Chain A
Amino acid sequence: MDFDLDDVLDLESDFYEEGYNQGLNETTKQEYTDGKEYGIQISFQRFLVMGYYRSVIEHWKTILLAKTTENDRKASTLLNTLNKLAYLVDNLSFENTEENGLIYDSTLKKIKYKLRIINTQLINMKIGINDNLRNAGTLLTDIGGRLEIDNGSSSTDVDNGMW
């Protein structure tokens, strides 16, 4: 029977390695899970507002198309702008890269600004559109909580019961 003494002596080392790597993998796995949960939470909060604005854009487009004529230049300008804003939201990437983060920030800024202006114009046109942005901030905070910031502080009610 072949019996390699070195193999026996290495057993201890092998067992140690096995246990060490297992522990390391467990640690990494836990970090992965923690990171994933946090990633889901952050992106949920970031895209919640985008979804809201996307529906507002669609709602305004529907009413403009139903209540104005093709010859209405103001309406067609507004529709054109709304289509551009919808395109921006629809083409946001869900990949978490630095570049995408910057695109997200500039898109959100642009959309907020443009929608505020369009909102006023639509109310003045008296075509059945009320102020759909008035309570948006409060509503979205009620649903998604306040967005966590880098220093790790968070709204306490958001953490309650999650994960």
Chain B
Amino acid sequence: MMKGWVGYIMVNCSFFNLRIGKRKRNNGIEMVYPKGNKQQDSAALVSNLAQKRQKLENSVQTVSEEEEDVWLSDGDEEHFQPHAANEEDHNFGDSGRTEGGEHVDTLALRRQHAKRGYVEGFDDGYKVGANIGLDVGKTIGILSCLKDSENEEASMKVDKIWKEMKDELFISKVLNHKYFSEDIELLDGKHKLVEKWAAAAENLLEEFQNNL
């Protein structure tokens, strides 16, 4: 079981590498990790992870120190070498491994998975948000038209609830976690807040239409 978690940690540490990988490459730090981690015992893996973390922390620290010295200290120009001068920065070497010790194929697979996951999530969310946005837009549209109408009674009634409506239907209130399940679907397929205001708008609209 523990070894299972080691593998889990490896993935997440590698993902961390992925996120700061560009910075590391820019800094020109060569990081070599042993091949064949899969067959090593857990103690060796944990040790490698500790070394890896230490090197990562060192590399991040070095980058931030360099970034702070934007203009370089006096005299540094002579010693300064562009990062791109290092050939190692531009390839993964003969081992086929990235600086994070991960095989390039694995890295590509992870990126593919992550990207696909994000895009699929976006598409699924798009349908949910479109329905909510349309309903909120309709409600605002009705109340706005009634507010601007020549029917004073209707206009006054809308005036009374206008500020409250704007506050409550503000995007961050509508897209609050409390209206969604854990997998970001509407609870019972309904948005209580949006439905509340839609019903209020419909009632006022009906009154308005009856008086036309």
Contact = CB atoms under 8 A, between A and B. Distances in A.
Interface of A: 12-13, 15-20, 22-24, 26-56, 59, 62-63, 66-67, 94-96, 128, 130-132, 134-136, 139-140, 142-145, 157-163
B142 to A, nearest CB: 5
B156 to A, nearest CB: 15
A28 B138 contact: no
Interface stretch (B25-33, B60-68, B122-130): B122-130
Interface of B: 1, 3-12, 15, 38-39, 41, 110, 113-142, 144-145, 148-151, 166, 169-177, 184, 209, 212
A28 B114 contact: yes
Contacts of B6: 15-16, 19
Contacts of A140: 137, 140
B189 to A, nearest CB: 14
Contacts of B126: 39-40, 42-43, 94-96
A42 B10 contact: no
A49 to B, nearest CB: 6
B124 A15 contact: no
A69 B125 CA distance: 45
Say whether chain B's binding surface is mostly helix, strand, loop, or mixed: helix
A158 B116 contact: no
B174 to A, nearest CB: 7
Chain A CB within 10 A, most for which of B38, B136, B141: B141
Nearest to B170: A143
Contact of B121 (A36, A49, A63): A36
A51 B148 contact: no
Contacts of A130: 148-150
A39 B124 contact: yes
B38 A56 contact: no
Max chain B C-beta neighbours (<10 A), residue from A17, A27, A45: A27
Nearest to A95: B127
A38 B122 contact: yes
Contact of B140 (A20, A143, A145): A143
A48 to B, nearest CB: 4
Contacts of B149: 128, 130
A27 B134 contact: no
A139 B9 contact: no
Nearest to A90: B134
A63 B39 contact: no
A158 B138 contact: no
Contacts of A35: 117-125
Contacts of A132: 144-145, 148
A51 B110 contact: no
A40 B129 contact: yes
A19 B8 contact: yes
B114 A41 contact: no
Contacts of A162: 171-172, 175-176
